[in-house]
Amino acid sequence: MKLIPPCMEFNSSANNNSIVLGEALASEEVNFVFPSQEFSKQAHVSSIQKYAEMYGRSVEDPAGFWSDIASEFYWKQKWGQPVYTDNLDIRNGKIDIQWFKGGKTNICYNCLDRNIDTGNGDKVAILWEGNDLGRDATLTYTQLLARVCQLANYLKSIGVGKGDAVIIYLPMLMELPIAMLACARIGAIHSVVFAGFSAESLAQRIVDCKPKIVITCSAVKRGAKTIFLKDIVDDALTQSAQNSVKIDVCLTFENESALQKQMTKWVEGRDIWWQDVVPKYPVTCDVEWVDAEDPLFLLYTSGSTGKPKGVLHTTGGYMVYTATTFKYAFDYKPKDIYWCTADCGWITGHSYVTYGPLLNGATNVVFEGAPNFPDAGRCWDIVDKYKISIFYTAPTLVRSLMREGDEHVTRYSRKSLRVLGSVGEPINPSAWRWFFNVVGDGKCPISDTWWQTETGGFMITPMPGAWPQKPGSATLPFFGVQPVIVDEKGVELEGECSGYLCVKNSWPSAFRTLYGDHERYETTYFSAFPGYYFTGDGCNRDKDGYYWLTGRVDDVINVSGHRIGTAEVESALVSHPQCVEAAVVGVEHDVKGQGIYAFVTLAEGVSYSEELRKSLIKVVRDKIGGFAAPDKIHWAPGLPKTRSGKIMRRILRKIASNSLDELGDTSTLADPTVVDQLIALAHS
């Protein structure tokens, strides 16, 4: 594997299609954005040569590389030898990955006690911003530890111990990371369920992991809307009881700004108010030292069969990897104020709201509300209020804010911003440029991170200061990650190519199994291309060695024998100046096999017209080719999204195929009425 891509042999002054950070804005002609000398000089990874040296060691001597990093954390007992073992080849027996086995540690201790012991007890750990303007709070590392210990002691008092599951169904209150850390402190396995899932979805997860307790709150306000979470939990507990899983304790936090205690429905003998019991417990709690391979958490992700997959992550390797990726991908420094807009109900909230930042002793913003409430400038109001220097968000939010207009951004200073980040899906180049030019004023590198729930942490990501970025590319692999692109037969492709993205050899934070279904784990991720972890994503590698994610393979459309990534078509559509967002799905076609069906959201004030439809198709023809031209443009005032901003493509496929009686559960959508609008516009 060549460690230095060909592009690194040229400097910015020799490249006509490049700019240097802070010196210019990124036009459509710009291919490379080089770090400035000033930024590189202060970066953890200051050059491509430094990266090549560290990356080379990480793949040639992974045991030594990761042992050195792991030694920076507290271990009650050091791990044994070998440092790791793995088998990713299903032909050689059971798929098995282990890192630092025999080592005894605790991730909560490393997040909190270790930072306090080094003199950071008075440093702010969490800056909490409420949904409504003017509601905020802070917790120092010492205060956070006290709150965590009180909850941990309560959990122990009701019989929760090492290996027991705890379901957490909370919004982005400070109590959510507190609950996660309390579970980790006593060796319990937390399973956070996004507080936007329906009762049926929550019940499925309760039945699968059979928790000792469910933790929730009375209600939450998202924007102007109140969501009655306790009612949803009540329904879910009724459903789970009908499936022979009875929960004896439902610990409920009173979120008084959303719903007062007396208005909350109550089941005597089962339901307990958090505020009535937890504060009575001691503010110190003994640590349960666990093996590096003991389970840390379960996080359920959607499966193609409809049954959620319980992704299981263990303690030691996950701890080491998430802390390291956070440090290097964001070039984190102790003075940084960090904000990730993700919810802890998703993996991003686990790795880069709770664990990664706290393991690094960071000051971390936790936001309860909606990013466009009370208006589209809320994000930048928060950035200025807390002097945020690292801002990590999803392309969906970037595109949404683009649509609202630059004035909602430019009326705020944003001078504190130093590094921007993108997560969740490939960011199209036009959104990347807007993020860079408007939000970052051309001064902030963008860490466009590719990773998955299953990987635990970043896999392919820029490192600010080390190498030039390309708008829309995740760039190069993180330390220890060996990505390969294979063809349909599993043959590795070299150089410039397109195919299926796989990873060979393990990395510390790889998930170890699917809870209760190791066979499904092996079949889903390791059987398609034996010897590799199959990501399920398509990928291009360009002549400079940069990786470009093209979306899920099941989001690849086969049109007349041409494999077309939906993300590629979406990116082309969004490059049109009057299109702010697009979602593409495949539909059956009598001649082509599959046709391309595009849902398109236009800029504010732009009217739908036949002329515009033709113009959009021309953009795709021009950027990709005639074979990729959409067969159908479906005008979309909005797209069906979860409250975390993820587009529900399953619903779009059903609308496109006119399977309206198969839409399924729409309760997790931020705005379910969007579905009705799309159906009404289906034949217009």
What are the residues whose beta carbons fall under 8 Å from the beta carbon of 332, sequence distance 6 or more? 326, 338, 360, 362, 390
Burial 320-357 (b: 16+ CB within 10 A, else e): bbbbbbbbbbbbbbeebbbbbbbbbbbbbbbbbbbbbb
Give 528's DSSP letter. S
For 375, the token pair is 């208006």
Is 555 among the catalytic positions? no
**CA-to-CA distance for 88 and 85, rounded, in angstroms?**
10
Cα→Cα distances 384→403, 409, 554, Å: 21, 11, 41
**CA-to-CA distance for 96 and 298, rounded, in angstroms?**
18
**CA-to-CA distance for 629 and 118, rounded, in angstroms?**
59
**CA-to-CA distance for 119 and 615, rounded, in angstroms?**
61
Q: What is the DSSP string of 51-113?
A: HHHHHHHHHHSHHHHHHHHHTTS--SB---SSSEEEE--GGGSS-EEEESTT-EE-HHHHHTH
**CA-to-CA distance for 261 and 636, rounded, in angstroms?**
40
User: Looking at the DSSP assignment, which residues form a beta bridge with residue 549?
Assistant: 539
Closest C-alpha among 424, 418, 439 to residue 337? 418
- The sign of the dihedral angle between the CA atoms of 250, 255, 258, 263 is positive
**CA-to-CA distance for 342 and 392, rounded, in angstroms?**
8
- Give the active site residue among 61, 122, 487, 554: 554
CA angle 264, 267, 269 (to 5 degrees): 135
Amino acid at 160: V
Which are the catalytic amino acids?
Answer: 554
